[in-house]
Structure 1
Amino acid sequence: MGLRLMVQGQSLRPEHITTDRQQGRRGMITKRHQHPVFHLMYVTEGEGVFLVGDRISRALPGYLYIINPNEWHQFHGHEKAGLHNLECTFLLRNEANEPVHHANLFEWIEEKRGRALPAAIREGPIEVPAALRPFLLEGFQRLLDPSNRYLTSELLSLMVVELMLRVEEIVWRLGVLAAEPAGGMEAGADEIVALQHYMRAHIGEPLKLEELAQLVHWSPNYLCRMFKAHTNLSPMAYLQQLRMTEAEKLLLFTDFPVFEIAEMLGYEDASYFARLFRRHHGRAPSAYRII
């Protein structure tokens, strides 16, 4: 049966078509056209002019375009500052294995989240905050990995959905912030969310406070103050909590030895890992297994 998504009451199967890194594109790239696929286009360098539906916009670095199936579109690259962009193309198939012609990613997000997005977000382009750009790029880069030629179509579909979820998170955060009254945005919220995603993605690596601070261009002391204000935890305490939650799942649902789980989560000393686990969960790792 494979991976499927529920979209407006339909069970749909995502199918990856292609993911490309385009560089230095100049002049007319495509004529105005439409087809039953999604395009997620992210501008990394240079500039251009995009027509999506009846809306013309200047495409600049950091801009994300969501082009839904059968939405008219046309791309131009600047003659001097050539356009560099990432592009993921995919489609959704219904239970009859036919491409869905009228799916809409914004409506999918609204359906999941139970709240309408502002028109400014839906009409795009979406300017991705600097703090969230690495989070989005990581989703594209996984699909661009050359080793993907060995992957099954189901795994590629899973990676497409993962990229969709990253886009959803960005769109939703921007939509919620846009809906708040002036002055209501929490300072540093985007940076904190970006760091949380980064820590989850690199949970087994020896992350340091200084490294995390550099990612968002803050000092370590300022990072600690801001992180605690948003989460009631220090960055390192939050990372430890993530690791202990993951350790619990690995102990319950896998057969990995305790020392391997410790290594997978970035702890070289298994006895230190065991002490931390007991402090968090009240039992030693060896006593946590399902018998």
Structure 2
Amino acid sequence: MTYIEMLVPPFPTLIKGGYAVFEKGTKHFKRTFTVFDLIYVKHGELFITEDETPYTVGEGQYIILVPGFEHFGHKGCCVKTEYYWLHFSMPNSYELVEEGIDNWSDILLAEGDLTTPSSYRFCLPCFGEIENNNYVENIFENLMSISHQTPDYQLRQQLYFQEFLLHLQKEACKIPSAAEKVVEEAVKFIQDHYTEEIKMEDLSQAIHFHPDYITRCMQKIIGMTPNNYLNQYRLNEAKRMLAMTDEKVANISQEVGIMDPTYFSKLFKRLEGLSPQEYRRIILRKK
């Protein structure tokens, strides 16, 4: 197993990210990049060779392709494949090593003081499988769904990217926290039932934790309350429908679980900075 070893801070810098779909038979193109390319497969599988080593990246797995190494698809997808990709650079030097970190406490190299920040050592696997898929895919969704109309959108994306790297290191050390497990269950319940009316009592009964504890866990791990997450997830689904269908806004509102179209439009504008109709016009214009 190859690991990327680096010192943080500063964290690696996100350059750009996206979501792509390969139809059956499509191959990843050949290139040698000057930046890192992380690929996470949501559905299907990719067949990628890097530096003459072939990899099969399946559902829930990721690969970090290293600058300077040629990579290409050595075989077409057997099924329709959906994946997220992130291009990033490393502000500090890094090394490719053969051993990672087993103990979470070993990431701390030096404690900071009033004038010097703490120093940490990260060892991220170049190829691996995500255990908490819902949590990670939520990070990707949030990162991709930030409106590009605001001047600070790339800074906000960087925060989600750092959160993803931190989680990747935690999973490499095999230490999901109790709070992360609660969040994983809560997120799964919300995603499975977002088209219905969801009350905190429903969520509490479903995953057997007190509503206040669930809220604290979600605020700590993903930075939002269950209701905030539900609204964001509903709007992410609505944005897909606005971009890919001709459905009326009122119908889309009901399909994502918001029965009042007026409230839906107000919520959409408050969180996205523009109305559903304006969002649809911008997306269609870009297409």
- Deviation for aligned residue 1:73: 2.4
**Residues 1:144 and 2:144 are matched in the alignment:** yes
Gaps of 5+ in 1: 1-6, 95-99, 178-184, 200-204, 214-219, 225-233, 246-262, 267-291
Q: CA deviation at 1:165?
A: 1.8
Q: Match of 1:49?
A: 47
Q: CA RMSD in A?
A: 4.6
Q: Percent identity?
A: 12
Decide which structure has the larger Cα Rg and report it: 1
Q: Residues 236 and 88 from structure 1, CA distance in 2 versus in 1: closer, same or farther, beyond 3 angstroms? A: same
Residue 258 of structure 1 corresponds to: none
Q: Distance in 2 between matches of 1:22 and 1:77?
A: 16
Contact 1:136 1:167 in 2 (8 A): no
Deviations 1:231-287 (A, max 9, x none): xxx342313556999xxxxxxxxxxxxxxxxx9899xxxxxxxxxxxxxxxxxxxxx
- Tell me the amino acid that sits aligned with residue 29 of structure 1: H
Work out whether residues 16 and 91 of structure 1, in 8 Å CA contact, stay in contact via their aligned partners in 2.
Answer: yes
* Aligned counterpart in structure 2 of residue 128 of structure 1, from 122, 127, 130: 130
Of residues 214, 219, 235 in structure 2, which corresponds to 1:239? 214
Structure 1: which amino acid aligns with 2:184? A
Q: 1:194 aligns with which of 178, 184, 194?
A: 184
| C-alpha distance in structure 1 between counterparts of 2:122 and 2:86, whole Å | 23
Q: Are the counterparts in 2 of residues 39 and 89 from structure 1 also a CA contact under 8 Å?
A: yes
What TM-score does the superposition give when structure 2 sets the normalisation length? 0.51
Q: Distance in 2 between matches of 1:106 and 1:235?
A: 44
| Pairwise CA distance, 1:127 | 1.3
Change (3 A) 1:62 1:84: same
Which residue identity lines up with residue 19 of structure 1 in the other structure? Answer: G
Partners of 1:17 and 1:91 within 8 A in 2? no
2:36 equivalent in structure 1: 38
| Structure 2, unaligned runs of 5 or more | 1-5, 108-120, 190-196, 221-226, 231-287
Q: Residue in 1 aligned with 2:20? A: 21
Alpha-carbon distance in structure 2 between the residues aligned to 1:155 and 1:172: 26
Q: Secondary structure at the match of 1:238?
A: helix
Look up the equivalent residue of 1:128 and give its one-letter code: I
Distance 1:90 1:30 in 2: 19
Q: Which amino acid aligns with 2:19?
A: D
User: How far apart in 2 are the matches of 1:265 and 1:25?
Assistant: 33
Shift of 1:43: 0.7
Hey, what does 2:252 align to over in structure 1? none
The number of residue pairs the alignment matches comes to: 197
* Alpha-carbon separation, structure 1, partners of 2:212 and 2:19: 38
> Structure 1 residue 172: deviation in Å?
1.7
* Secondary structure at the counterpart of residue 81 of structure 1: coil
Distance 1:211 1:106, change over 3 A: farther
Of Structure 1 and Structure 2, the greater strand share is in 2
| 1:168 CA displacement | 2.5
State whether residues 50 and 58 of structure 1, in contact with CA within 8 Å, keep that contact through their aligned partners in structure 2.
yes
Deviation, 1:192, is 3.1
Work out whether residues 136 and 163 of structure 1, in 8 Å CA contact, stay in contact via their aligned partners in 2: no
SS of 1:150's equivalent in the other structure is coil
Residue 78 (structure 1) aligns with: 76
Amino acid at match of 1:23: F
CA contact (8 A) 1:106 1:122 kept: no
For residues 30 and 69 of structure 1, the distance between their equivalents in structure 2, rounded to whole angstroms, comes to 15
1:133 maps to a residue whose letter is N
Alignment of 1:1-291 (within 5 A): 8=7, 11=10, 14-24=13-23, 26-31=25-30, 33-76=31-74, 78-92=76-90, 94=91, 103=94, 114-115=106-107, 122-124=125-127, 126-129=128-131, 132-145=132-145, 148-152=147-151, 154-176=152-174, 191-192=181-182, 194-195=184-185, 208=200, 210-211=202-203, 220=206, 223-224=207-208, 234-239=209-214, 241=216
C-alpha distance in 2 between matches for 1:13 and 1:66: 13
**Alpha-carbon distance between aligned partners in 2 of 1:80 and 1:197, rounded to the nearest angstrom:** 30
Per-residue CA deviation, residues 153-195 of structure 1 (Å, 9 max, x unaligned), is: x531331341232243144224335xxxxxxx99x88633524
SS in 1 for 2:148: helix
| 1:107-149 deviation digits (Å, cap 9, x = unpaired) | 9x96x9634888xx7242x2112xx21221122222332x633
Q: What is the CA–CA distance in structure 1 between the aligned matches of 2:161 and 2:96, rounded to whole Å?
A: 12
